[in-house]
Structure 1
Amino acid sequence: MHSTIEIRNARLHNLKNVNLDIPKNKIVVITGLSGSGKSTIAMDILLKEGQRQYMESLGMITFGRTRPPVDSIVGLSPTISVDQYLLNHSPRSTVGTVTDIFTYLRVLYARIGHRNCPHCGMEVPPMGFESQAYDWQDESDESADETFPCPGCGRELPELSMAHFSFNKPEGACTTCTGLSVVRQAIVSRLIDENRSIPENAVYGWTDFHNNRNGQILQAAGRYYGFTFDITKPVKDYTPVERDLLLYGTDSPQFKRHFPGIKPPSTSAKGRFEGVITTLMRRYDEHASDAAYREKLDDLFTTQTCTDCEGTRLRPESRAVTVAGLSIDAVSRLSLKDLDAWLQSLPQQLTDQEMLFARPILDDLQERIRRLIEVGVGYLTLERSTPTISAGEARRLRLAALLGSGLTGMLYVLDEPTIGLHQRDTGRLISVLRRLRDLGNTVLVVEHDLELIKAADYLIDIGPGAGKYGGQIVAAGTPAEVAQTEGSLTGAFIAGTMTVPVPETRRKRGQSALMIKGARHFNLNNLTIEIPLGLLVAVTGVSGSGKSSLIFKILATAAHQRLNGTSEKPGDHDSITGWEYIDKVITIDQSQILRIPRSNAATYSDAFTPIREAFAATPDGKKNKATARQFSFNVPGGRCERCQGAGTLAVKMHFLPEVEVRCPACRGRRFKRETLAIKYRGYDISQVLEMTVEEALELFSDVPAIASRLQFMSDVGLGYLKLGQPATTLSGGEAQRLKLARELGRSSTGRTLYLLDEPTTGLHPADTARLLQVLQRLVDAGNSLIVIEHNLDLVKAADWVIDLGPEGGAEGGRLVAEGTPGEVAEVEESYTGQYLKTRLQQK
């Protein structure tokens, strides 16, 4: 049996015939500069090949999964990944559903829940179960149509099932919001110009044809119902009847209330009209699978918490059922830590018969919750929607599930598990990884965090640089051995001979500031806080302490609403003052860039347009009368029409997901031969898209419009990124830095407020030092920069630190400390301060 995973002559991407022996049943950390080749080894070679070999061993078709360009890989185990994009981003998905904890609770409430008869008010006892041999895991999620008589009045009551407690089932979902917890409302001011009449284009989007046709229908509707609809008067002068007809149509309850008992007209000729808002809502619902179409319409809507279910997603009948005095929606609002305590109290509150059924459920539930608390997400609530979960939180939810699997002999590949994790919780994460290892597994981690790097059993440093300057094994061994390796950047940071520098002088706080009063969103505890402007401000605190709620849900949303006219409402707060000091706000978070694979680093950074213009201006381009359009893969002309410029084709597989294969016509090069024949300094357009930012910067160094944009990408640590890499494959940190690079290329007013969410994500300490220089340049230009961050190298370089906590969830949301990094480091109650003090002493 092999004690190592042996890789021989790996040549993928920038790897230079790498030979590597990775010890098994160890925690192995792969580190190095961003773009050095870490993810290529971990994700593109070990993960994909491990999964391919396992599928092949089961006799499954592996069409489309080619072997990586290596001579051999020996000793590879079945492989499981824990990467940065794991959770279902459906608005119907919650922490409770993705962890299955809510499923357990639904069984519990269906079988031992107490309720009162809606007719006589008498308490109806729990249904119990058929026999002691009853297996709760056989419980069906389908609704039971059976009824039983109320013991008080004898009237028939429905038998409760799991479906009655599911917001994804008609039996349990709130009828108003259909289980979404929020309702969409159209913003009338963005659909109608109240000062105009219909012939004067009062309805945005209507052409002259629509004005004439719909005007005639509205007049016919007036005649049908016995009133005159005057289309020549401004909408602001409409009567309530006319207004409801225009906005909601003849079949809507809003209009029908004016004419109860009158059947709506059957045809448009007689006056049947759908309504402007009703049409918009229908089109939005019909395009549920078309994200791009819905995104265009999003600005026409505002979302509000459903008033009928108060955001609980469930029907009133379901919310009325209790176990030990708590309804299932009340339990869903508890943090996982508090839920664990409540479950532990149940044996004292339930009857012996109820416990006979509840005991196995409680055992499984408590074990699942214990693992979640162990990985550091005990502050989360079951009702938390998964689209609001960060990448780091998603990864830790996945880790908790893996701990419960009991699998051995596996290779777990983790991509930066410390993202979004406070230093206080890193030790707990290391303990979790050690448990996975001690079960008999190999844990392979791509990581930059020095604490986790030092805790590795074996460390592999890739480099020495990024892109074409990387792809080699610089050092391999224990962390102590790597620390002594000359030429290893990581080793120098481990040994302390290199550190991210602290500014020699810090900017002094001035008079200008933003004052947020009475912040109450999520767990913020009526917080009033002053954020100084013209500085680099770091907002810190343990996971779940309220940082994102304060900066993004309240401040950013309020700023965009005030300065950009957006419709989204900020989180609960009393007021924000100090707007006069800023005239522009830019939010740069870790959300993915667009949702289309055609968007890439070159197009998003605006570098591709001048690149196409440069190709058109070449002698060959002029000779062939080429235009910049010919070098675009998004429009017909010069692109390959077989794959429409994608370079790949989707092949449908029976019973399996679609597989992307290289286009046989252009062989993955995206363009026609005529287009590829036009060269810029010996390179065709397809070859340029395969270049890294650094390589392209060298090629286009004398074209300012291109070089300036590429230089900004290089400055933020993206020099290794290929110009043609699809935006959908970028990590959260890469996406954020690409957004930052694009903003750097735009003119700044000197009064801009920048809001960033952990910009050091995915960065080696050496890259962090480089990024800091860029951030400091922004502030030196007079702008204000607020950064949510856990990385102490950035925090110690800030001018001002705001630390929230002291814990996450209900125990957070308070101001623990504020001031310069040195001042915060002296606050004993601050976890950030404790770790910051040590880091400042290291200098």
Structure 2
Amino acid sequence: MGKDKIVIKGAKEHNLKNIDLKIPRNKLVVITGLSGSGKSSLAFDTLYAEGQRRYVESLSAYARQFLEQLKKPNVESIDGLSPAIAIEQRKAGANPRSTVGTMTEIYDYLRLLFARIGLPHCPKCGREISPQTSQEITDRILALPEETRIQVLAPLVRGRKGEYKKLFEDIQREGYVRVRVNGKVYDLAEVPSLDRYKKHDIEVMVDRLIIKKGIKSRLADSVETALRLGKGIVLITVNGKRLTVNRELLFSEHFACIKCGISFGELSPRMFSFNSPHGACSGCDGLGIRMEVDPDLVVPDRNFSIYEGAILPWSEPITTRRHKWKYAAQRYYSQQLETVAEHYDFNLHIPWKNLKREERDILLYGSGDDSLNFHLERHGMTHKFCRPFEGIINQLERRYRETSSEYVREEIKNKYMRTSSCPDCKGARLKPESLAVTVGEKSIAKVCALSIKKAQEFFSNLKLSRKEALIGREVIKEIRERLNFLINVGLDYLTIDRMAGTLSGGEGERTRLATQIGSGLVGVLYILDEPSIGLHQRDNRRLLNTLKALRDLGNTVLVVEHDAATIRFADHIIDLGPGAGRHGGEVVVSGPLEKILRCKRSLTGRYLKGELKIEIPKKRRPVKGKYLTIIGAREHNLKNIKVPIPLGVFTCITGVSGSGKSTLVDETLYRALANKFYKSKEKAGEYDRIEGLENIDKVIIITQDPIGRTPRSNSATYTGVFTPIRELFSQIPESKIRGYRPGRFSFNVKGGRCEACQGDGIIKIEMHFLPDVYVSCEVCKGKRFNRETLEIRYKGRSIAEVLDMIVEEALKFFKNIPKIKHKLQTLYDVGLGYIKLGQSATTLSGGEAQRVKLATELSKRSTGKTFYILDEPTTGLHFADIQKLLDVLNRLVDMGNTVLVIEHHPDVIKTADYIIDLGPEGGEEGGFIVTSGTPEKVARRKESYTGQLLKKILA
């Protein structure tokens, strides 16, 4: 039984209702159901946790202490379980050293390839450098045309000052007759006196020959002698018939540029690693970026004059936490500025933008070697000195490095510094000598800057010599295979050097999926969380074929998914429900697609059959003529586009993966609006201007980021509903008698919480090489508060009992408290009536977390001029959940607000009032507006992939 099935008995983790289940092995299995129905509890918290736990327990006690150990899930038994690998839908780590290349091992193979067949060049002059043996040098010379006259010279002095009398004497004593000094040949007896203060080049002439048969032995001896005298370097002059030098050939036994005097060690993979001191750029330690003071933050408003406070760090100087000596510092800085203005004759009362470029540079970066006479008053005394002006940016950077005050350092960093490309390596991360090594005329940095698709073309067309092909064949094969896996999961637009932290959740998951296929493991249980997220419907087939290939290797592939195409493609479907939270956790139906479609209880089956569906609106909101228009957007792959976004309607930004949607909306539009409304310091992508800003007064973005990383964060604290609840409890007469304030009812601060568990309700017991054990606190019995706090009751319920309520129950309980009811109502409206108020944020699914964020924003007062931005809000949502989401978004638009959504889901796209389709492809072939307008208009455009999709849906 265990050979062809995974058999689960009595699974009770989280909201699972003691379920029994048989899952076929070596099949593609989809787990679906409403958000919060128990899919992740079954897939990750039960199957993965147990599979991983069993594998780890098979290792030695010593090895186990270094590995993450998952607690034993609440399940009676699981038979037929394989070692499990989870590929979750989460943002990739924030480690700035992690890239797509390092995640997939492509970069490791590239380092090996460049170390073995790379062609080094001088980083200064670009001359090709290659170490050669004396025999190889001899063969290269013999390849010259017959009758060519050559001179074999040994370089002794290269660009050094001196008279060198003793050197000439030593050469003569060794029996040599001629030398070449500064390009001119002399007999040693006739060498003129050299100027000791000028640089000279001196070579001794070892031999003169004519290329013809029978000279190989003599030439070899001469080359060896020249290499010995020249310390591994030989210079060959190639002469024409009249003995005028036509060209020179330099050869070296070492990796060294004879012209520039730069030496290399032997090429090795570590020389191309930005994580190793042997390869990392010394300016940025291999990060490619540096924290630097940004002139735009130093002078945030160029319309102000210096007199009006244009230079922010000097008009609002950072002194101490209590702003001690602030006014003295202001006076000190203003006197310096007055001296600079007087010296260079410019006006402090005109706007910053009207100052000349040179004047602004002096103020920001200093006067260089030019000294100024300063007369500064400080503490009642006049100080006179003459020195260069340091410059505002240089002064801030010096203070940042030298200050002993952590407060001052943090203030400078937070207010005036941004990460920017390293000026030494231009973001390439490596030392100049590493970047000077090429394969196919490209450095490793240029190869990594290629998109996956372009890199595949580069390696397919790479021309190599027979020797290079023999050495690099296997390495190139591995690189091409990994590139192909990334193309197959729809990531052909990513560049190899793309930082892992900038990938979306879906991109990160598909990158890890490609890595797993490359590993070629067999007999493994793979568990994936919505791999189709962020993928256009056009690319779905490639992803499904990848999952099929993983299954056909001999693995069980278990996918938590809501995408209709993936569900239909599966060999076996498990539908959980029937509801969410405490109303879910049951197996509604399990079997092939036909069985799901026949099941009347299955919501999934009814949507797949078409019995239930998200309706196309009968009437779309008309565009009223007001637009927010971004002009000249050109960040990353955007092609200097003008994008008018209609206001007061529901707009969808669509396009294939990598077409520029996130670059346009998140990196350019949102950051520009945040800079405008909230003085955010995040730099917006490149654009010219935004028109129509007067029509909005607030911008709100709801992303895929988790709402909390600690168990202390919950939906009540995140939405802010816990604050009025605590205030309500503090107003109870008994609380007033005891002098309890709202803080008494917080489990995060001392006073009202249980100090035995510090408000956690559980106590962690470290077991070292066994998984940590969590036990309920014996003092508070898991209620998180002390006895005195729990004695305060509202309508017979303590604060702990209120946190244990589900939203639906709490809504009735607090129906007479408008402040609390309003926030709870929004949670209920987004379909989260089943979650507990005190439920830890870490236990919420991705779809639930995003809807908690949405509810938080909904509960805020709307002005009717708010601009909402949502990035793939359907992540983790079932068809029925999407209907609730659309109801909420439409409610926002009906109040006069604007909703802009980045989305791939057909049900969201078809219900939008307006669509802006980017493309036509991903990466460099994207970044254009393919079409825009109503879904009906977009459906008529044949060149639009979104249009092709809509044509089928709207037909």
TM-score range, shorter chain: 0.7 to 0.9
Q: Does 1:10 align with 2:11?
A: yes
Question: What root-mean-square deviation, in Å, do the aligned CA atoms of Structure 1 and Structure 2 show?
Answer: 3.7
Corresponding residue to 1:335 among 444, 451, 457:
451
SS at match of 1:572: coil
Seen in structure 2, the aligned counterparts of structure 1 residues 706 and 278 have a Cα distance that, compared at 3 Å, is farther
Matching residue of 2:111:
106
Distance 1:469 1:21 in 2: 22
Alignment of 1:459-478 (within 5 A): 459-478=573-592
Find the counterpart in structure 1 of residue 218 from structure 2.
none
Cα distance 1:698–1:37, how it changes in 2: closer, same or farther (>3 A)?
farther
Find the residue that maps to 2:320 and give its secondary structure.
coil
Q: State the distance in 2 between where 1:691 and 1:73 align.
A: 32
Q: For 1:183 and 1:413, how far apart are their aligned partners in 2?
A: 38
- Provide the C-alpha distance between the structure 2 equivalents of 1:167 and 1:785, rounded to a whole number of angstroms: 42
Q: CA distance change for structure 1 residues 791 and 126 in 2, over 3 Å: closer, same or farther?
A: farther
Aligned length: 786
The question of 1:756 aligning with 2:857 is answered no
Structure 1 pair 41–98 and aligned structure 2 pair: CA distance change class (3 A):
same
Conserved 8 A contact 1:64-1:659: no
- Aligned residue identity for 1:735: A
Q: Match for 1:148: what amino acid?
A: H
Structure 1 length normalisation: TM-score? 0.85
| Residues 467, 692 of structure 1: 8 Å contact kept | no
Deviation at 1:493, TM superposition (A): 0.4
User: For the Cα contact (< 8 Å) 2:9–2:75, is it kept in 1?
Assistant: yes
Cross-structure match for 1:315: 431
Q: Does 1:609 align with 2:723?
A: yes
C-alpha contact 1:32 1:490 (8 A) present in aligned 2: yes
Q: Say yes or no: does 1:673 pair with 2:787.
A: yes
Deviations 1:201-226 (A, max 9, x none): 942452568429x96xx9xxxxxxxx
Q: Measure, in 2, the Cα distance between the counterparts of 1:125 and 1:738.
A: 62
Give me the whole-angstrom Cα distance separating, in 1, the residues matched to 2:300 and 2:688: 27
In structure 2, the partner of 1:77 is 82
Is the CA contact 1:544–1:812 (under 8 Å) kept in the aligned structure 2? yes
Asked if residue 494 in structure 1 is aligned to residue 608 in structure 2, the reply is yes
Q: How far is 1:773 from its partner? A: 0.7
Q: Report matched runs for 1:664-743 at 5 Å.
A: 665-728=779-842, 730-743=844-857
Q: Which has the higher strand share?
A: 2
Q: CA deviation at 1:305?
A: 3.1
- Any residues of structure 2 matched to 1:803-822 within 5 Å, and which? 803-822=917-936
* Cα distance change on mapping 1:365 and 1:12 into 2, 3 Å: same
Equivalent-residue separation in structure 2 for 1:484 and 1:415 (angstroms): 26
Give the C-alpha shift of residue 230 in structure 1.
Answer: 6.7
Displacement of 1:666: 4.0
Q: Aligned partners of 2:568, 2:841: CA distance in 1, in Å?
A: 33
TM-score (norm 2): 0.75
Partner of 1:555 in structure 2? 669
What is the deviation of 1:657?
A: 9.3
Q: Which moved more, 1:330-339 or 1:49-58?
A: 49-58
The answer as to 2:630 corresponding to 1:516 is yes
Kept in 1: contact 2:130–2:254 (CA 8 A): no
417, 423, 429: which one aligns with 1:301: 417
Distance 1:561 1:70, change over 3 A: same
- Farther-moved stretch of structure 1 (67-76 vs 651-660): 651-660
Unaligned runs of 5+ in 1: 129-146, 219-228, 243-251, 261-269, 288-292
The secondary structure found in structure 2 opposite 1:427 is helix
**Counterparts of 1:735 and 1:712, CA distance in 2:** 14
Q: Spell out, residue by residue over 1:378-426, the C-alpha distance to the aligned partner (whole angstroms, 9 max, x if none).
A: 1110121111100000110111111122222222111111111111112
Find the residue that maps to 1:124 and give its secondary structure. coil
Q: What is the CA distance between 1:33 and its match in structure 2? A: 1.0
Deviation of the 1:667 alpha carbon:
4.9
Which residue in the other structure is 1:174 paired with? 281
User: Deviations along 1:711-747, whole A, 9 cap, x unmatched?
Assistant: 2122223333333344455555443322221111111
Whole-angstrom distance in 1 between the partners of 2:371 and 2:770: 54
2:332 matches 1:231: yes
Indicate if the aligned counterparts of 2:70 and 2:771 stay in contact, CA closer than 8 A. Answer: no
Go from structure 1 to structure 2 and tell me whether the alpha carbon gap of 1:283 and 1:481 turns closer, same or farther (over 3 Å shift).
Answer: farther
Measured in 2, the distance between the counterparts of 1:422 and 1:119 equals: 46
Query: Aligned equivalents of 2:550 and 2:621: distance in 1?
Result: 46
The within-5 A match list for 1:525-544 is 525-544=639-658
In structure 1, the residue matched to 2:546 is 432
**Helix, strand or coil: the match of 1:755?**
strand
SS of the residue corresponding to residue 772 of structure 1 reads helix
Would you say the 8 A contact 1:804–1:816 is kept in 2?
yes
Give the Cα separation in 2 of the matches to 1:618 and 1:15: 38
* 2: CA distance, partners of 1:156 / 1:189: 42
Mapped contact 2:659–2:919 kept (Cα < 8 A)? yes
Q: Does 1:93 align with 2:98?
A: yes
Report the secondary structure of 1:511's partner residue.
coil
Q: Contact 1:201 / 1:211 at 8 angstroms: preserved in 2?
A: no
Helix, strand or coil at the partner of 1:19: strand
Q: Is residue 42 from structure 1 mapped to residue 49 from structure 2 by the alignment?
A: no
Residues 115-169 of structure 1 deviation map (CA, whole Å, 9 limit, x = unaligned)? 33357764212799xxxxxxxxxxxxxxxxxx93637559561213333323333
Q: 2: CA distance between counterparts of 1:119 and 1:35?
A: 61
Residue in 2 aligned with 1:51? Answer: 52
Question: Separation in 1 of the partners of 2:339 and 2:748?
Answer: 46
Worse overlay, 359-368 or 723-732:
723-732
Structure-2 residue corresponding to 1:546 = 660
| Aligned residue identity for 1:781 | M
Cα deviation per residue 1:50-76 (whole Å; 9 max; x = unaligned)? 212222233556997443333322222
Q: Distance in 2 between matches of 1:285 and 1:398?
A: 42
d(CA) in 2 for partners of 1:20 and 1:699? 38
**Corresponding position: 1:840 with 2:845:** no
Partner Cα distance (1:23, 1:164) in 2: 48
Distance 1:259 1:15, change over 3 A: same
Contact 2:71 2:773 survives alignment (8 Å): no
Quote the Cα distance in structure 2 between the aligned partners of 1:53 and 1:370: 33
Q: Could you tell me how far 1:650 is from its partner in structure 2?
A: 5.5
Corresponding residue number in structure 1 for 2:475: 361
Counterpart residue number, 2:241 = none
Contact 1:9 1:18 (8 Å CA) reproduced: yes
After TM superposition, the structure 1 = structure 2 runs for residues 247-646 of structure 1, keeping only pairs within 5 Å, are 277-280=397-400, 298-346=414-462, 349-593=463-707, 595-618=709-732, 621=735, 624-646=738-760
Is the Cα contact below 8 Å between 1:195 and 1:235 reproduced in 2? no
Kindly state the Cα deviation for residue 771 of structure 1 after the two structures are TM-superposed: 0.8
Contact 1:592 1:730 in 2 (8 A): no
8 A Cα contact 2:103 2:512, kept in partner: no
Structure 1 residue 568 displacement after superposition: 2.3
> Deviations 1:511-554 (Å, cap 9, x if unpaired)?
11122222211111222222211110000011111101111111
Note if contact 1:33-1:763 (Cα within 8 Å) is conserved in structure 2: yes
Structure 1 distance, partners of 2:954, 2:757, is 55
SS class of match (2:433): helix
Code of the residue aligned with 1:150 in structure 2: it is A
Distance 2:901 2:728 in 1: 37
Q: 1:173 to 1:648 in 2, by over 3 A?
A: farther
What secondary structure, in the 3-state scheme, does the structure 2 residue paired with 1:629 have?
helix
User: Hey, what's the Cα distance between the residues in 1 that align with 2:7 and 2:743?
Assistant: 48
* Cα contact 1:195–1:202 (8 A) shared by 2: no
Which letter maps to 1:52? R
Contact 2:52 2:70 in 1 (8 A): no
Residues 201, 207 of structure 1: 8 Å contact kept: no
Change (3 A) 1:333 1:537: same
Distance 1:235 1:784, change over 3 A: farther
CA contact (8 A) 2:53 2:69 kept: no
Partner of 2:206: none
Where does residue 290 of structure 1 map in the other structure?
A: none
Structure 2 residue 270 is matched with structure 1 residue 157:
no
Q: Which amino acid aligns with 1:91?
A: P
Question: Separation in 2 of the partners of 1:80 and 1:259?
Answer: 66
